[in-house]
Structure 1
Amino acid sequence: MTSATIPARRLAGFYLAYFAALGAFSPYWSLFLKARGQDVAAISVLMSLWYGTRIVAPSAWSWLAGRSKRPIHWLRGGCVLVLGSFLLFLLPLGFHGLFAAMCVFCFAWNAVLPQFEALTLSHLGARSERYGRIRVWGSIGFIAIVAGFGFALDRLSIDWLPWLMLPLYVGLVASSFANDYGASARTPIHGGGATFRTQLLQREVILFFVVTLLAQVSFGPYYTFFSLYLEHHGYRPSTLGAYWAIGVAAEIALFFAAAWIFSRLDARKVLLFALVSAALRWWVTALLPENVPLMVLAQTTHALNFAAFFAACMQLLVRWFPGPANAHAQGIFYGFSSGLGGVLGAWLAGALWHVDEGRAAFLAAGAVAAFAAALCALSLRASIRGPA
């Protein structure tokens, strides 16, 4: 497959819209929920739905799409459902209303990205190293919105947040209708289940999913309470946005360099480096939140513990599950690793938030990341000795 056959701009456009919306949600949604009168316990429950629906939504939606003659309909339908459910947040909802709206919204949101990852890889084929150059536009959208919204919310009430986010979801729907799967992924999966299960149950693959689950657990305090944690230490919304933006700026640089990195390092080694950097990042965040230079340095490691980690996961998934099977593997990856791992991470954050003003949550996150790194190192040693 030549680069001329890859619809890079259309693919990049979807990532731009999707992660721009995420750039508004991740740093500021907990502040919006707080303004709606929700306490820390309620926010923890509501934000856990972001991860809880990942357990079911990616695999269920991908399973249905994989057996459809037109799988793109499931992607587009999911995006329309995202927009429709988001409109509910414009209403003055209490906890139970917010809970119901979050269930639908988070389910739809988590259903669409694994499908689009498979769609992108179906166009890239053997050129999977080009993934970073396309996915980077998601990071660019994220950083633009997280910084812009930070300055806007210094001047506007946080109650304006859903109205500011609404155009981003309209753009997501439009982009979904501008894309379609590559020819290699348009054939429904009716057979090959036994082969897929055999590959899924390989020791190296099982350990990969465990490691990625633990990595997502370690991100729980960051995704759930990082903005509240910094606010507690005296940071303004624009500064919160700047910290998020620093991390994503480093992520952008990494994605541009991804092809060069993976031509020189095996994806499993990159995964190990990412996990070690995550452990150090969470420990710095826990112990030195008011040390601006070190916090800036910790945020730049996002290039490793998110961007390099994620790019390495995509490389390994396309290696182990090529062709139409990749959509199913993506669903399992998002459902088990991101979904279950995210729920456990949000629970960890909520359970430890009141211990030592949130510091204990980030200390525990660092310990989880360090344990994941140890498992990854064992897997790497085993693979060097030979296949299981």
Structure 2
Amino acid sequence: MAALPYWRLSSFYLFYFALLGSTAPFLALYFDHLGFSSARIGELVAIPMLMRCVAPNIWGWLGDYTGRRLVIVRFGAVCTLLTFSLIFVSKTYAWLAMVMALHAFFWHAVLPQFEVITLAHLQGQTNRYSQIRLWGSIGFIITVVALGRLFEGLSLDIYPVTLVLIMAGIVVSSLWVPNAQPAQGNRIAGDGFLKQLRNPGVLAFYACVALMQMSHGPYYTFLTLHLERLGYSRGLIGLLWAVGVVAEVLMFLAMSKILARFSVRRVLLASFLLAALRWLLLGSFAEFLWVLLFAQVLHAATFGSFHAAAIQFVQRSFGARQQGQGQALYAALAGTGGALGALYSGYSWNALGPALTFSIASLAALAAAVIIATRMQEDRP
């Protein structure tokens, strides 16, 4: 068995999720800084998520067909950097919408294919996935805390520059990663992607992925603005985002033991129920710091345990030649749900207010819990 390139894989996750750490908390704040309304902010944030509905499936099919997944990762990373750099040309709504769409088309080519490469390097040691993926969480933490402090003293006008620097880090780290192909022979040749998709519980799982990401819409689009208007400083807001991801890191460290003891179904069900609670707390009680801290700790479940269990479910639900498409569909439906969440929260934020907007998110998470409880069969851990 070849040695696991732990640090090379981990460095890619570090930079990739550092980019997410710079966009999730601050992208809406930047658009607000440019003077856009809540509805326009929701639309601009939704555009990359909408591209996530389409792009991963195109790149996923290409990766499975050619087997050249690492080439796709590197190509996507370079094109993400080049297309996002167009943001320096203009700041009009139409131009920004185009930049959001173009860079997201290539950005969403990257992670699903890289997940397949990572799992191939693990050679069946899927319990070690969380130990590598936690470096993505560390990258998120470093970025969100650093930018929160930075923007307390400096103008948001420099925000696009920070994103370009992180994107350059993604390009460099992708060049350092060695290639690996999934092992063949896990399933018979006749088991195509669509046939595997119809296996019990698989469609229900993907529906729940969309609902879970839809429930995150207000969180990723408006939490920073919500907290800023409640009187929290940008530095403290950055730390609060970091609290959630620290909890996520600790969860990733524990996930191999959790998934060895509990079934994927039970882990997903608990994640959905805790998400429903979290959104209610953020929408109605965020002015209380202790409640806000508790709600952020719940990120361990709403992202950490959910994502680790979901990746394991996809990995064992599809054969080697369908891994790219399985991961791409996961990304696409997460994007569909995320886009719907960003859009509805953008339109409802001013009309209904934060409490009702987050309550809708809570209902979406509860719906996912009901589906997973009734439609997915109990699996052996």
Tell me the TM-score normalised to structure 1 length.
Answer: 0.93
For the pair 1:353 / 2:358, whether they are aligned, the reply is: no
The amino acid of 1:296's aligned partner reads L
1:318 corresponds to which residue?
A: 315
The amino acid of 1:373's aligned partner reads A
Q: What is the CA–CA distance in structure 1 between the aligned matches of 2:268 and 2:160, rounded to whole Å? A: 36
Contact 2:70 2:179 in 1 (8 A): yes
2:116 corresponds to which residue?
A: 118
Deviation at 1:295, TM superposition (A): 0.8
1:204-225 deviation digits (Å, cap 9, x = unpaired): 1011111111111101111111
Deviation at 1:91, TM superposition (A): 3.2
- How do residues 58-73 of structure 1 correspond to structure 2 at under 5 angstroms? 58-73=56-71
| Structure 1 runs of 4+ with >4 Å offset | 191-194
For the pair 1:283 / 2:270, whether they are aligned, the reply is: no
SS state at 1:184 partner:
coil
* Structure 2, unaligned runs of 5 or more: none
For the pair 1:221 / 2:221, whether they are aligned, the reply is: no
1:250 corresponds to which residue?
A: 247
Deviation at 1:183, TM superposition (A): 3.5
Q: What is the CA–CA distance in structure 2 between the aligned matches of 1:257 and 1:156, rounded to whole Å? A: 38
1:343-363 deviation digits (Å, cap 9, x = unpaired): 211122123212343221101
- How do residues 27-42 of structure 1 correspond to structure 2 at under 5 angstroms? 27-42=25-40
1:5 corresponds to which residue?
A: 3
Deviation at 1:174, TM superposition (A): 0.8
1:30-73 deviation digits (Å, cap 9, x = unpaired): 11112222221211111001210011010101111221253321
1:293 corresponds to which residue?
A: 290
Q: What is the CA–CA distance in structure 1 between the aligned matches of 2:182 and 2:331, rounded to whole Å? A: 22
The amino acid of 1:272's aligned partner reads L
- How do residues 131-170 of structure 1 correspond to structure 2 at under 5 angstroms? 131-170=129-168
Deviation at 1:168, TM superposition (A): 1.0
- How do residues 367-378 of structure 1 correspond to structure 2 at under 5 angstroms? 367-378=363-374
Q: Say which is worse superposed, 298-307 or 176-185, in terms of deviation.
A: 176-185
1:21 corresponds to which residue?
A: 19
Contact 2:63 2:69 in 1 (8 A): yes
Contact 2:215 2:341 in 1 (8 A): yes
SS state at 2:220 partner:
helix
**Of 206, 229, 238, the match for 1:241:** 238
Change (3 A) 1:362 1:193: farther
**Of 351, 375, 381, the match for 1:379:** 375
The amino acid of 2:277's aligned partner reads L
Q: What is the CA–CA distance in structure 2 between the aligned matches of 1:107 and 1:155, rounded to whole Å? A: 33
**Of 246, 253, 257, the match for 1:260:** 257
For the pair 1:93 / 2:91, whether they are aligned, the reply is: yes
Contact 2:145 2:238 in 1 (8 A): yes
Q: Say which is worse superposed, 238-247 or 307-316, in terms of deviation.
A: 238-247
The amino acid of 1:279's aligned partner reads A
Q: What is the CA–CA distance in structure 2 between the aligned matches of 1:92 and 1:160, rounded to whole Å? A: 14
Root mean square deviation of aligned Cα:
1.7
The amino acid of 2:331's aligned partner reads Y
Contact 2:117 2:181 in 1 (8 A): no
Tell me the TM-score normalised to structure 2 length.
Answer: 0.95
SS state at 1:27 partner:
coil
Q: What is the CA–CA distance in structure 2 between the aligned matches of 1:136 and 1:184, rounded to whole Å? A: 22
The amino acid of 1:342's aligned partner reads G
1:272-330 deviation digits (Å, cap 9, x = unpaired): 11111100000011110101101100100100110100000011111111423211100
Deviation at 1:244, TM superposition (A): 0.7
**Of 53, 63, 67, the match for 2:51:** 53
The amino acid of 2:165's aligned partner reads P
Deviation at 1:27, TM superposition (A): 0.5
Deviation at 1:193, TM superposition (A): 6.9
Change (3 A) 1:136 1:376: same
1:363 corresponds to which residue?
A: 359
The amino acid of 1:220's aligned partner reads G
1:171 corresponds to which residue?
A: 169
Change (3 A) 1:167 1:14: same
Q: Say which is worse superposed, 69-78 or 151-160, in terms of deviation.
A: 69-78
Give the aligned length: 377
1:307 corresponds to which residue?
A: 304
Contact 1:120 1:181 in 2 (8 A): no
The amino acid of 2:157's aligned partner reads D
**Of 203, 210, 227, the match for 1:206:** 203
Q: What is the CA–CA distance in structure 1 between the aligned matches of 2:361 and 2:6, rounded to whole Å? A: 36
The amino acid of 1:248's aligned partner reads V
SS state at 1:93 partner:
coil
Q: What is the CA–CA distance in structure 1 between the aligned matches of 2:214 and 2:99, rounded to whole Å? A: 24
